Amino acid sequence: MKKNPYCKITKQGAPVINSCICVFNTKNARLFELDLKSKYCEIACVCSDDNGTIEIEIEAIAGQSLHLHKSKEGSTIVMFKNLKNYHVFASDLSRYSARICFYNYNYNYKE
């Protein structure tokens, strides 16, 4: 994956990610889409810290995933920065993309 302002790969495993784009960005929610070269993968886990860093682990499904990195094994970890006070609200994985929605739990709604 080329360098971009939204995320970076901290561990390259078998699943291959082409790019990451920010689809939706407001004060209380952000939606990112990862374009995957690998097909039929899954989100294994999500980790976060107090500094606003969130990591998502994408892993291959044995016997089902296609177009994996030939010389790498294990899962791929993608790190999102500058998401202090955000949590993963929802995620969706299709054949060639993963969408992750982050929600700002400290955002104050005003009517």
What is the model's pLDDT at position 111? 54
Burial class of residue 100, CB neighbours in 10 A (0-12, 13-18, 19+): buried
Domains and CATH numbers, the chain: 7-104 (2.60.40)
Q: Is the pLDDT of residue 56 over 90?
A: yes
The set of long-range contacts for 27-30, using a CB threshold of 8 Å and a minimum separation of 24, is 27/104, 27/107, 28/103, 28/104, 28/107, 28/109, 29/89, 29/101, 29/102, 29/103, 29/104, 30/83, 30/86, 30/101, 30/102
Mean pLDDT of all residues in 28-45: 90
- Whole-model pTM? 0.84
- pLDDT-based confidence at 57, cuts 50/70/90? very high
